Amino acid sequence: MHLLLFNIYDQVRSLGWNGAFTLLRDGVVLGSLYSLVALGYTMVYGILKLLNFAHGDVFMVGAFIGFGVLAQLGGPLAPALGLVPLLLVMFAVAMLGSGILGVVIERFAYRPLRNAPRIAPLISALGVVFFLESSVQLITNSTHSEYSTFPVFGPLFTPMFSVAGNPVTVVQVLIVLTAIGLMAALMFLVYRTKLGKAMRATSFDREAASMMGIDTDRVISATFFIGSVLAGAAGVMYGLYLSDTYFFVGFLYGLKAFTAAVVGGIGSIPGAMLGGVLVGVVESFAGGYAGGQWKDIVVFGILILFLLVRPTGLLGSHAIQKV
Amino acid sequence: MLKRIGALAVTGAVTAAIVAATLGGTASARNNAVAAASINCKKTVTIGVAYPQTGPVATLGANQWNWAKTAMKAWNKNKKNKPKIALLQGDTQLAGTTPQALQVAHQFASNSKIVAVTGPAGSQEMQDTASVWKSASLAPVSGSETRVALTRGTTGTPRETTKGYFFRTVPNDGQQGDNVAAYIHNTLKKNKVEIIDDEEAYSTGLSAQVQADLLKVNAHVTTNHVSQQDTDFSSVIDSIPSGTQVIYIPWQNATQAQQFYTQLHAHGGKEILFGSDGTDVPGTFTGNGSYVSGFPVDFSSTAVKSFAASHGGDPETFGIPSYTSVIVNATAIKTACKAGKGKTTRNAIRKDVPKVQLTTAQSLLGFPVKFLAKNAGKWQGPGDMGGTAAFGIYQIQANGSYKRVG
């Protein structure tokens, strides 16, 4: 323990303020990705009280759809479109594809179990995880799909501005702004539209909402669609930023996004965003100061801590249980 | 009441012990019976191939399987080779834990059709399954396990497999670590090195050895770790000390190495990356100017060229020693069948494995294969290849191809 503390102290001193900034920058970018995925967890939980563990794999499928579009449009080394239209098409198709996948998952894996004991859809979710991972593994023959970030997306990696000599690249700004923009759009949808009102009503009391004439099945499908659309966007951003995707990536990212949702307060949309950024920053600092081997220990340690001490998370509220 | 509970507990424990002993004894007896069973050499015989068919390193497993199939086809095509061989897959997953490998070992051990084994892929898998193979008179010939202790004990560490029950068609980590440290210090003339392991036994062992070798020559070495599930290396890259010249990444996953390279460059890093045999995957780890210590490969061989041509230009070099392993097994089977006049046993085949000798042309490794019967040099032991077997050092070119430089 003493040695670990000494190493952390030594690393903090040797990296200095510049190091702290780069860790903060990278943590915020990583956290923005977690946030987008966490929003899906939190929305589905808010409406169905279901932990949709397959959501991490929807994110993975989104990354693969983005890559598929890139490959169809001439491949990473000779794209048929310019950078901006290419990115727009990749995002649009991946978001739409992931959204449809989310709806299909809900329709076939969860809806038939709507009135079953709560453990049943949870087990079904785990089944969907393995189904999606194994399907993608078979389709891709276990290979990694490389976005080949540099040749195609070189301009995204040029510095946009610097903070005390530390560059912040275009892609990093793009990820953070996209995450904020999508969350703002989601907030607008939930709090300022008819569908959002129906979603909130369904979340509050599904049976009562149904009796008031709300088509709750449709609302739930819409919730899955929107959450999965966000995961698809996160998948493409993940591929662009980290250069590659693989059938296994949804597992760990999904768990960390779930942690983000719990930390922020599962069911709370701003909480998912806040939790994502916090988890990303904590992970980055843990990796930078304590060493890469501590990243996951710290992140999942926080998950356990929150579940024990503050299960409602930072921005979540206590649910009143009717008896 | 307490008495009753105590009696029940004792009865339960005794019953459990009897059941466990019976089941264990049954499995052991079944393995012994299968090991002694006569094998008809007039029929096609089966070699089990234990490799990661699924899991995070399934790409490497695919290389091994593709080359194993190539070996089977090459063997069966030659009319002089009898008996003909077939392969049976066993998915060990190689995911840091070994229960799957144990399951495969038990399946192979109790399957009387399997007369020899190629694989498993990971050193830990071999160590944890050694007793199962031994009880079934099978001697796995691995095309990728590099841990020294599998063939030779070191001070304070016993040999991890029984002599005569494990062979490999790759050089070991002792040889690899010495090569890498010497190349970094003597050829690249670099003295500030960051070593990042991926937290599993193969990587930590190799890291420790290269670190020790570099410290002996007064190099400045710092260390860090990643996990095999990591895809974002930002924080690890951020914490690399300034002035670092070489980053050594002895990882099992070549894609992780490529991602690390991409992210390092995206962060403006200019350090030289140096990978190990786990990252020796042309077409996957393509970081221009990086180095890998890789399995020896005879790139001039027609078989390697023809394989690459039929696999989109990728020679899948990680799998070549698995080709060699299948040929070693098939040759041992042929010898045992000949000696037994058309009939043989697993035990006879196992005893013939160490006698197998392949020419350079047969091995595809760039040197002939002959197994050592006793310790040799600083690192090798019985089950290792002797002679000129060594790791190669390759530099990755701008087009992603590997050029041997050491």
Check B284 against A286: CB less than 8 A apart. no
A253 CB neighbours in chain B (<8 A) are: 231
Check A157 against B59: CB less than 8 A apart. no
How confident is the model at residue A10, as a pLDDT? 80
Do the domain assignments include residue A323?
no
A284 CB neighbours in chain B (<8 A) are: 234-235, 238
Q: Which two tokens stand for residue A39?
A: 């929003």
The partner residue sitting opposite B234, judged by closest CB among A26, A167, A289, is A26
DSSP-assigned beta bridge partners for residue B376? B380
End-to-end CA distance of chain A: 47
Greater pLDDT, B186 or B389: B186
Do the domain assignments include residue A146?
yes
CA–CA distance, B137 with A261 (Å, rounded to integer) = 53
Contacts of B4 (CB under 8 A, 6+ apart): none
How many domains is chain A partitioned into structurally? 1
**Nearest to A61, CA basis, from A231, A285, A177:** A231
Interval A12-59: pLDDT, tens = 888 888 888 999 999 999 999 999 999 999 999 988 888 899 999 999
Interval B242-294: pLDDT, tens = 899 999 999 988 889 998 998 998 888 899 999 998 898 887 888 999 999 98
- Other beta carbons within 10 Å of B98: 21
Greater pLDDT, A321 or A66: A66
Residue A127 Cα, gap to closest chain B Cα (Å): 17
A11 CB neighbours in chain B (<8 A) are: 239
User: CB of B59 within 8 Å of any CB in chain A?
Assistant: yes
How confident is the model at residue B178, as a pLDDT? 92
Check A150 against B265: CB less than 8 A apart. yes
Q: Which of A158, A244, A300 to mutate to test the interface with B (most CBs of B within 10 A)?
A: A244
Of A147-156, A201-210, B198-207, minimum mean pLDDT range: A147-156
Check A26 against B230: CB less than 8 A apart. no
Interval B318-339: pLDDT, tens = 899 999 999 999 999 999 999 9
Q: How many CA atoms lie within 13 A of B186 on its CB side?
A: 9
> The domain B174-294+394-404: what is its CATH number?
3.40.50.2300
The partner residue sitting opposite B239, judged by closest CB among A19, A30, A253, is A19
CA–CA distance, A122 with A117 (Å, rounded to integer) = 10
Residue B303 Cα, gap to closest chain A Cα (Å): 23
The partner residue sitting opposite A287, judged by closest CB among B58, B235, B265, is B235
Check B229 against A26: CB less than 8 A apart. no
How confident is the model at residue B133, as a pLDDT? 96
Q: How many CA atoms lie within 13 A of A43 on its CB side?
A: 29
3-state secondary structure labels for all residues of chain B: CHHHHHHHHHHHHHHHHHHHHHHHHHHHHHHHHHHHCCEECCCCEEEEEEECCCCCCHHHHHHHHHHHHHHHHHHHHCCCCCCCEEEEEEECCCCCCCHHHHHHHHHHHHCCCEEEEECCCCHHHHHHHHHHHHHCCCCCEECCCCCHHHCCCECCECCCCCCCCCEECCCCHHHHHHHHHHHHHHHCCCCEEEEEECCCHHHHHHHHHHHHHHHHCCCEEEEEECCCCCCCCHHHHHCCCCCCCEEEECCCCHHHHHHHHHHHHHCCCCCEEEECHHHCCCCCCCCCCCEEEECCCCCCCHHHHHHHHHCCCCCCHHHHHHHHHHHHHHHHHHHHHHHCCCEECHHHHHHHHHHCEECHHHHCCCCCEEECCCCECCCECECEECCCCCCEEEEECCCCCEEECC
What are the DSSP calls for A189-211, one per residue?
Answer: HHHHSHHHHHHHHHHH-HHHHHH
Report residue A77 CA to chain centroid gap.
Answer: 28
Chain B 164-183, residues with CB within 8 Å of chain A CB atoms: none
Q: Is the pLDDT of residue B93 over 70?
A: yes
The partner residue sitting opposite B284, judged by closest CB among A14, A137, A144, is A144
The percent of residues in chain B predicted with pLDDT above 90, rounded, is 63
- Other beta carbons within 10 Å of B375: 14
Interval A218-255: pLDDT, tens = 999 999 999 999 999 999 999 998 888 888 889 989 99
Chain B 2-41, residues with CB within 8 Å of chain A CB atoms: none
Check A11 against B239: CB less than 8 A apart. yes
Check A244 against B227: CB less than 8 A apart. no
The partner residue sitting opposite B234, judged by closest CB among A252, A284, A296, is A284
Contacts of A136 (CB under 8 A, 6+ apart): A57, A60, A61, A64, A247
Helical (H) or strand (E) element with A269: helix A269-285
A130 CB neighbours in chain B (<8 A) are: none
> The domain B44-170+300-371: what is its CATH number?
3.40.50.2300
Do the domain assignments include residue A225?
yes
Helical (H) or strand (E) element with A167: strand A166-169
**All CATH 3.40.50.2300 domain ranges in chain B, comma separated:** 44-170+300-371, 174-294+394-404
Do the domain assignments include residue A304?
yes
A293 CB neighbours in chain B (<8 A) are: 199, 225-227
How confident is the model at residue B1, as a pLDDT? 45
Q: Is the pLDDT of residue A76 over 80?
A: no
Residue B87 Cα, gap to closest chain A Cα (Å): 20
How confident is the model at residue B5, as a pLDDT? 47
CA–CA distance, B266 with B172 (Å, rounded to integer) = 34
ipTM exceeding the 0.90 mark:
no
User: What is the pLDDT of chain B when averaged over all its residues?
Assistant: 88
User: What is the pLDDT of chain A when averaged over all its residues?
Assistant: 90
Q: Tokens 């998952």 — which residue? A: A105
Do the domain assignments include residue A160?
yes
Q: What is the mean pLDDT of residues A68-72?
A: 92
Q: Which two tokens stand for residue B119?
A: 């694989």
Supply the CATH number for residue A64's domain: 1.10.3470
Interval B2-56: pLDDT, tens = 455 455 445 554 554 555 445 455 556 566 667 778 899 999 999 999 999 987 7
Check A292 against B232: CB less than 8 A apart. no
The partner residue sitting opposite A252, judged by closest CB among B58, B229, B284, is B229
How confident is the model at residue A143, as a pLDDT? 75
Domain encompassing residue A301: 2-309
Nearest CA in chain A to B237: A288
Residue B249 Cα, gap to closest chain A Cα (Å): 13
